[in-house]
A and B are shown apart, each in its own frame.
Chain A
Amino acid sequence: MKSLKSRGSELVSPERQFQILKEVFIRKNLPSFSEKLIQSGLSALTPAPTKILQMNLGKLCNQTCKHCHVDAGPDRKESMSRETMLHCLSVLAASPISIVDITGGAPEMNPDFRWLVVELRKLDKKVMVRCNLTILLAGDRYKDLPEFFAKNQLEIVSSLPYFEKRRTDSQRGEGVFDRSIEALKRLNAIGYGIPDSGLTLNLVYNPAGAFLPAGQAALEHEFKKSLLKEYGIRFNYLFTITNMPISRYLEYLQESGNLESYLEKLVNFYNPSAVLGVMCKNTLSIGYDGSIYDCDFNQMLEMNVEGGVQNIRDYDADVLEARKIRINEHCYGCTAGAGSSCGGVTT
């Protein structure tokens, strides 16, 4: 499977994606996200002080998952430069932001990934890495990553759509499940996910299809039971994340005939109490070129933050915290059911 960009898909255009969503909302007479906020007594979304800086190191990835909102893959070359990383480090050095969430693509494929991690740890920030697991088996360049992660006390957050091969491979590609299991065994072997080791390994569940995630606690129980019984694998927590109707998942929804019913479901399951915990309230998302966004999804839709500060090199906490968070219909994905953020449910 190639990225949307390589295939010249019309869905590369954020404007086209917004148009597709809007057409369904009009056809099905669904309230816009903005209207829904007002209906539920909430006004415009405004940020709290930034606690997490999410750095997207680029779109290069060794996998091409069907649901990827980044449209990442081996054919994408966008990559964060060391200069942009230095701007981020400079901001972090002078800021109370305590957590850095490194994502991609496969962030480990950025040539400056390890340098960045070491510099972040010198600033004593908590560092999370969104590791897709199979990168640990992608050749000599990556095989010592588990030890590197452990040495730098990184918290690992890894997608594993399901505890069975069929559903995982259907979303992430043939053979991904077996390689993910092997990677998890390697991480366990050096202490990741083992109680009292101090090395945190969290898994992420995305539904492999046009449905919402299960209750996080119940699904975590199932994952733990099954992975331990079948493969002897342990992990700390499971985060359940709702698939956003954008990019390659939007393409899947269209091609499978599930688009209308999925959007209706997101709207019908809108939960006002999930709104307060959405990630854009306390997170800033930094694109590979240093652009600032309210979240990783807005980043992929090229919705830069409102206001005068658009790039990390011009960072100004006061200006950014005074902004309004930009919203569109995809935001229903974070407020359906128990809510969804990079850290799982929001309620």
Chain B
Amino acid sequence: MSKESYYVPDDLKKFGNIGEFQPNLAKKFFDYYGEVFTEGALTAREKSLIALGVSHAIQCPYCIDAYTTDTLEKGVTEAGLMEAVHVAAAIRGGASLVHSVQLMNKVKELGM
């Protein structure tokens, strides 16, 4: 990737360094983050797939890099990885479309 880009792959490794400017808040975040991803009612594998889907919904290249690797390492198939992305896409698309009810309501309110 060009040095002119805002996104640099190596910056993912520096994620932990955000504590340099605000250690207390960073620590709270990473403690929380670590706790979220431990096995619980959901397996670590399920949580990683959710993270992969969310990564695509919020279009975070660092998260996509990290959770593609993580889900591969957790033994998820390529088809499984892509289905997680489609779930994210369906929710994103659905979220736009469901607002069309508001549009229709307004049309009907304004119309004769």
- Please list the residues of chain A having a beta carbon within 8 angstroms of any beta carbon in chain B: 164, 166-167, 205, 207, 209, 211-215, 218-219, 222-223
Q: Is the CB of B78 within 8 A of A166?
A: yes
- Interface residues contributed by chain B, number (CB under 8 Å): 10
Q: How far is the CA of A326 from the CA of B74 in the complex (A)?
A: 32
Q: Is the CB of A218 within 8 A of B45?
A: yes
- B73 CB within 8 Å of chain A: yes
Q: Is the CB of A218 within 8 A of B78?
A: no
- B17 CB within 8 Å of chain A: no
Q: How far is the CA of A219 from the CA of B73 in the complex (A)?
A: 9
Which residue from chain A places its CB closest to the CB of B43 in the assembled complex?
A218
Q: Is the CB of A218 within 8 A of B72?
A: no
Q: Is the CB of A222 within 8 A of B72?
A: no
Residues from chain B with Cβ under 8 Å of A167 in the complex: 77-78
- 10 residue pairs from A and B, CB less than 8 Å apart: A164-B77, A167-B78, A207-B72, A207-B73, A213-B73, A214-B45, A214-B73, A215-B74, A218-B44, A219-B75
Which residue from chain A places its CB closest to the CB of B68 in the assembled complex?
A211
Residues from chain B with Cβ under 8 Å of A164 in the complex: 77
- Please list the residues of chain B having a beta carbon within 8 angstroms of any beta carbon in chain A: 43-45, 69, 72-75, 77-78
Q: Is the CB of A211 within 8 A of B77?
A: no
Q: How far is the CA of A166 from the CA of B69 in the complex (A)?
A: 18
Q: Is the CB of B73 within 8 A of A218?
A: no
Residues from chain B with Cβ under 8 Å of A205 in the complex: 75
Which of A166, A209, A215, A223 is B72 in contact with, Cβ under 8 Å? A209
CB distance from B17 to the nearest CB of A (A): 14
Q: Is the CB of B77 within 8 A of A214?
A: no
Q: How far is the CA of A212 from the CA of B72 in the complex (A)?
A: 9
Which residue from chain B places its CB closest to the CB of A222 in the assembled complex?
B75
Q: How far is the CA of A222 from the CA of B73 in the complex (A)?
A: 13
Residues from chain A with Cβ under 8 Å of B69 in the complex: 211
Q: Is the CB of B73 within 8 A of A212?
A: yes
CB distance from B62 to the nearest CB of A (A): 14
Residues from chain B with Cβ under 8 Å of A166 in the complex: 78
Q: How far is the CA of A142 from the CA of B53 in the complex (A)?
A: 47
Given A218-B43, A218-B44, A218-B45, verify A211-B72 contact (CB < 8 Å): yes
Q: How far is the CA of A166 from the CA of B78 in the complex (A)?
A: 9
Residues from chain A with Cβ under 8 Å of B44 in the complex: 215, 218
Q: How far is the CA of A212 from the CA of B69 in the complex (A)?
A: 9
Q: A205-B75, A211-B72, A214-B74 are in contact. List 17 more A-B contacts (CB 8 A).
A: A166-B78, A167-B77, A167-B78, A207-B72, A207-B73, A209-B72, A211-B69, A211-B73, A213-B73, A215-B44, A218-B43, A218-B45, A218-B75, A219-B74, A219-B75, A222-B75, A223-B75
